[in-house]
Amino acid sequence: MHIALLSDIHGNPIALDAVFADVQAQGGVDTYWILGDIVAIGHDPVGVLERLAELPNACFARGNTDRYVVTGERPGPTFVAVESDLRLLLPFVEIAQSFAWTQGAITATGWLEWLAALPLEQRIVLPDGTRLLGVHASPGSDERGVHPALSDAELKSLFAGCAADLVCVGHTHWPMDLRVDDVRVVNLGSVSNPLPPDLRASYVILEADDSVYRLQHRWVDVEEDFPRPPGRDRGSTASAASRGRAHHPPHARPVPGWLDAKTEIEKEHTK
């Protein structure tokens, strides 16, 4: 059994195509698990959905931004926060424009019902008996994410009672591989909008047989220039450097020391 697990595509088919090409270069997989934040923020949400619909036996989980597109909810800053601090007006307007444009594109092309039907999680028992859980942020939540700044107590509270041996998540765009009591937690990173200074897409390939499972974290170069998302200088291009700095969901922000931890993961999985 071979599964490619990826998340946080954010409407970017260029980064998604780069990941697909890398999957094929590794010999292909039996199926894909797509763990949320599929369409919002990027320049071509419909193109992403069309590509994903062609995948054989793909499994999906809902991300928080997928929910925002469907329900009309929005991430911060709130209108109340803007009233208190007018410096927040520009990001408030940009977020509103971007999500409204995405919602319109998804609705006009008939994808809104599909997006609304996404489940919160995916579960499977691997051939060796390992219980695999795939969710966007953490068990039972599409918003409470995993990142290096969390304390041991906070991590334990997120995964207590999750009824899984291996949990794969996305959401915060931080590639991680750690143990929380008896649970192995793997953050896939992100296909799009990676955190600087490493602007490569990241995802995970899982290989499992009757005796063991193995994970390989993959990092993929992505073409540097692509159209900006709606609401930010439509029609212009954004360099990889600006792509790394801009257009991140509010929950995806650098934490001191995160890059060192990511580098250690990469070294371990490329030995």
pLDDT recorded at residue 255: 47
186, β-bridge pairs: 168, 177
Name the domain count of the chain: 1
The answer to whether 99 touches 68, Cβ cutoff 8 Å, is yes
The CATH number for 66's domain is: 3.60.21.10
pLDDT of residue 256: 44
Give this prediction's pTM: 0.84
Residue recorded with tokens 């329900």: 71
Which residues of the chain fall short of a pLDDT of 70? 224-271
Q: In which domain, by residue range, is 47 found?
A: 2-269
Q: What is the pLDDT of residue 239?
A: 36
